[in-house]
Amino acid sequence: MYNFDKLVERKGTDCIKWDMTEKVYGHDVLPMFIADMDFEVLPELQEAMVKRASHPTFGYTAASPAYFENIIKWNKERNGLDMVKEDIIAVPGVVTAIAFALNALTKDGDKVLINTPVYNPFASTIKGLNRELVTSSLKCEGTHRVMDFEDMEAKMKDGVKMMILCNPHNPIGRVWTKEELNQLVELCAKYNVYLFSDEIHSDICYGGHKHCSILTVSEKAKEISFCAMAPSKTFNIAGLKSSMFIIQNPEIREKIAGSIGAFHVGIDLMAYKATEVCYGHGAKWVDELNEYLYENAKFVTEFCETQLPKVKTFVPEGTYLMWLDFSEYGLTQEELMNKLKDEANVGLNSGATYGDEGVGFARLNIGCPKSMVEQAMKQIKAAFDK
């Protein structure tokens, strides 16, 4: 059994979560923001990093055969996704992948669709590259959210060129089903829309929910869509900057590879090694991590139901991010975030960051020892009970 209860001192490593709280929140808070975790990494990973770092040369380095083999095996075994080595293109980050895809497949002024609320760099990258941002709000069914296919179709009719999907979805924790994804693929195919599936959270699913990669939906899906994934969220190695495109349509792959080649971007030798080791040795670690996160999520949900009934939340289907609805308090977003940071002394992400639908909400990171989650909830309760 891995020990996810252990509190690891991260201060002094220049990590954003613990070393930048004052900069982000104005004073020291219990940090429950950003999307990395406070757990120790897989022991085999740390050993491999130390071993490689102890060799006194760090020259240009290629991916080992095991890098490709382990990515392929991991995806086959865990997601039923078949791929070959040639489908994989390494990139430092998934947001970098979004930028390359936009650069390769769309041009200035083209419309790009996203479902909101969603991870904010989707919008900023689209706008930053001078593409037109088109949004479709997720529909609420109680605390459950679904895509609004009617609204998306109306927008696609108007000439959308690409859609960026968050699968599983940050911040609302949906693990999209094969049926939902199939409906989306059909819609995109009908209107000639490229479908980019951001699958960075794909390994973190629990409570009986199983990730469905866009590339396993249908033959049509492989034609019009492609995905980016990474070991970064799964194994808590975001700082190592290793991600990858999986592209099975050769035409799309060629265009994107050309765009990446033009910028001469690759990943570094530690990123290659970490990816190889995590996917090669990390299955049990991830299974236990998912069980642990599921317990943390159930704790927060139960805590809100029993101790903070005005805060509405739900157990997500995946990710280690929870979506807390504080709107019953009737505060402005600024008042809410000030109360959380100044009175509760906790650092959460503002829901408004992810789109207008997030006003009244805050995002809580539960990728940490349960004692920290308990402490954060206690502090929130004390502030909101006043």
Ligand X SMILES: Cc1ncc(COP(=O)(O)O)c(C=O)c1O
Q: Could you list the residues that contact ligand X (CB under 6 A)?
A: 35, 93-96, 119, 166, 170, 198, 200, 230, 232, 238, 243
How many CA atoms lie less than 13 Å away from 214 in the CB half-sphere? Answer: 33
How many CA atoms lie less than 13 Å away from 7 in the CB half-sphere? Answer: 8
CB of 168 to ligand X, least distance (A): 8
Nearest CB to ligand X, comparing residues 134 and 238: 238
CB of 95 to ligand X, least distance (A): 4
Nearest CB to ligand X, comparing residues 135 and 379: 135
Give me 103's structure tokens: 């650069």
Nearest CB to ligand X, comparing residues 166 and 308: 166
CB of 342 to ligand X, least distance (A): 25
Nearest CB to ligand X, comparing residues 45 and 95: 95
Nearest CB to ligand X, comparing residues 308 and 366: 366
Beta strands in 4-110 (DSSP E): 30-31, 88-91
Element (H, E) at 386: none
Q: SS3 for 195?
A: strand
CB of 37 to ligand X, least distance (A): 11
Q: In what order do the strands lie in the sheet with 321-325?
A: 321-325, 361-365, 349-350
CB of 244 to ligand X, least distance (A): 10
* Distances from the Cα of 33 to the Cα of 20, 135, 357, 365, angstroms: 11, 24, 19, 6
CB of 202 to ligand X, least distance (A): 10
CB of 298 to ligand X, least distance (A): 22
CB of 290 to ligand X, least distance (A): 17
CB of 17 to ligand X, least distance (A): 12
Nearest CB to ligand X, comparing residues 167 and 379: 167
CA dihedral (213, 214, 215, 220) in degrees, to 10, reads 160
Backbone angles phi, psi at 163, to 5 degrees: -120, 140
Structure-token match 């689209």, residue found: 126
Structure-token match 């008042």, residue found: 335
Give me 22's structure tokens: 């004052």
CA distance 29 to 8: 17
Cβ-closest position to ligand X: 93
Nearest CB to ligand X, comparing residues 134 and 200: 200
Nearest CB to ligand X, comparing residues 10 and 339: 10
Give me 286's structure tokens: 């991830």
Nearest CB to ligand X, comparing residues 195 and 200: 200
Q: SS3 for 320?
A: coil
CB 176 within 8 A of CB 168: yes
CA distance 155 to 189: 14
Gyration radius (Cα) of the chain, Å: 21
